[in-house]
Amino acid sequence: MKNYKNIIPKKEIKQSKNTNISKNSIIVKIAVLLFAILFLSNNAICYANLEDNEIIDINQIKKETAQVAKTTTGEPQLNARIGLIFDRASKTILYEKNGQKQVPMASTTKIMTAIVVLENADLTDTVTIDKKAAGTGGSRLGLKTNDKITVHDLLYGLMLCSGNDAAVQLAIHVGGSVENFANMMNETAKELGLVNSHFVTPHGLDEKGHYTTAYELACMADYALKIPKFKEIVSTKSYTVTINGKSKTITNTNELLGYLDGVYGVKTGFTNGANRCLVTACKRGELDIITVVLAADTKKIRTQDSIKLIEYAYKNYQMIDLEKIVEEQFEKWKQLNENRIYINKGKTDRIYLQLEELQNKKIAVKSTDIDNISVEINSLYYLEAPVTEKQVIGNLKIKIKDQTVGVLAIENKNTIEKKNIKDYFIHFLNLLP
């Protein structure tokens, strides 16, 4: 006789099998996930470490933004709270929206970090990773305590996949500590004449008292791009670093690099406090610009706004040879006026003039303002001897419409001595018949 108490109903057997299958499925999924994490951290591209993992279709954004640029007249309409276009030749702002406002800047901080490292470290040095660096969160190169890597490769990890762990290790290696390195960053900012920037960290994670402006961020990028190694790093799409003798390929987080004509850097950024940030260097023809977009709500917006700024600049501005214009106007003026200048009591009555050197020989000018460039020259016409070499006797103003964009001193080339008694006597004798 069967003991029905020990018989499990078919329904319960089925449920039991389903439960086991479900558990097995979960275990398999976890195993696959762990494998993927390990694989990404040790081998391929830094996708798992991106500072902003919002997925965008860059080609679609390019297409949409280009269409808007074609039909839009006037200044670009940005969705980001801060935007700026900086002309590298003249060091001037072509466009700005809140460009002087102090704000957090996330990982665009690493532009200054790289400057300090490149100016103070030997790139061939091999570094042993500190526990503090290995434990740094956010976007990472994937460094572990006691890993060995060169300063050179740490810089690539810093600027390409925005490794916060690389930033801290570089700070410790160069400054001895994060705090000392921040002091070096602030000292460098002062040397560059930046008065609205202050650094607390080498990576840009949100910290009180860590800020800059779009304008000063552009100035930092402009300075950094003059360092050949910096320019080489930020213009690199992907790179293979070596950690503990093993290779790891990383890719640049800059979504415009390789996708928009002329773009050759510079740095992305994202924190909750700073929102999405992007500093971009772009050159087409002679016009070389840096655009800055800060405080964008989404990655798509920072990309769109960066493209808007770039296309606006190339649609509306062109490079002008200011030196040629100035020299032509000054020569014309000299031919008419140089002989009119009287030197009282001078051994010679002939003066030779020169202009102070023009710093910005070429500048970006709005296409509609090219015919509005003018040169205004003012000079003394009576001088008392002696007249010293390089004595200023006037100035030349360069104006676009009613705005003065440059002032150059007009200087005396040669020393003109004052006549003495002997000179007057000789002069008197020459007058005799």
CA-wise closest residue to 367 among 314, 407, 307, 288: 314
Q: By mean pLDDT, which of 64-68, 263-267, 317-321 is the weakest?
A: 64-68
The pLDDT of residue 346 is: 87
- Report the DSSP beta bridge partners of residue 196: none
Between 35 and 230, name the one with better pLDDT: 230
Catalytic residue (one of 90, 162, 197, 306): 162
Q: Give me the chain's average pLDDT, please.
A: 87
Residue 197 has pLDDT above 80, yes or no: yes
The pLDDT of residue 35 is: 44
User: Residues 19-33: what's their mean pLDDT?
Assistant: 52
Residue 291 has pLDDT above 50, yes or no: yes
pLDDT digits (tens, 9 = 90+) for 75-113: 899 999 999 999 999 999 999 999 999 999 999 999 999
Q: How many CB atoms are closer than 10 A to CB 127? A: 20
Catalytic residue (one of 90, 107, 139, 197): 107
The pLDDT of residue 13 is: 39
Residue 215 has pLDDT above 50, yes or no: yes
Three-state DSSP string of the chain: CCCHHHCCCHHHHHHHHHHHHHHHHHHHHHHHHHHHHHHHHHCCCHHHHCCCCCCCCHHHHHHHHHHHHHHCCCCCCCCCCEEEEEECCCCEEEEEECCCCCECCHHHHHHHHHHHHHHHCCCCCEEECCHHHHCCCCCCCCCCCCCEEEHHHHHHHHHCCCCHHHHHHHHHHHHCCHHHHHHHHHHHHHHCCCCCCECCCCCCCCCCCCEECHHHHHHHHHHHCCCHHHHHHHCCCEEEEEECCEEEEEECCCCCCCCCCCEEEEEEEEECCCEEEEEEEEEECCEEEEEEEEEECCHHHHHHHHHHHHHHHHHHEEEEEHHHHHHHHHHHHHHHHHHHCEEECECCCCCCEEECCCCCCEEEEEHHHHHHEEEEEEECCEEECCECCCCEEEEEEEEECCEEEEEEEEEECCCECECCHHHHHHHHHHHCC
The pLDDT of residue 19 is: 47
Is 41 known to be catalytic? no
Tokens read off for 36: 């993927």
195 Cβ neighbours under 8 A, 6+ residues apart: 216
pLDDT digits (tens, 9 = 90+) for 301-343: 999 999 999 999 999 999 999 999 999 999 999 999 999 999 9
User: Residues 18-24: what's their mean pLDDT?
Assistant: 50
Q: Where in the chain are the domains?
A: 4-42, 47-318, 321-421
The pLDDT of residue 52 is: 60
Give percent of the chain with pLDDT exceeding 70: 83
Domain with residues 47-318, CATH architecture: 3-Layer(aba) Sandwich (3.40)
Q: By mean pLDDT, which of 25-29, 73-77, 144-148 is the weakest?
A: 25-29
CA-wise closest residue to 323 among 369, 371, 289, 356: 356
pLDDT digits (tens, 9 = 90+) for 395-426: 999 999 989 999 999 999 989 988 776 765 66
- pLDDT bracket for residue 360 (50, 70, 90): confident
Asked if residues 155 and 113 have their Cβ atoms less than 8 Å apart, the reply is no
User: Residues 178-203: what's their mean pLDDT?
Assistant: 98
Is 162 known to be catalytic? yes
Is 110 known to be catalytic? yes
Q: What top-level class would CATH report for the domain 321-421?
A: mainly beta
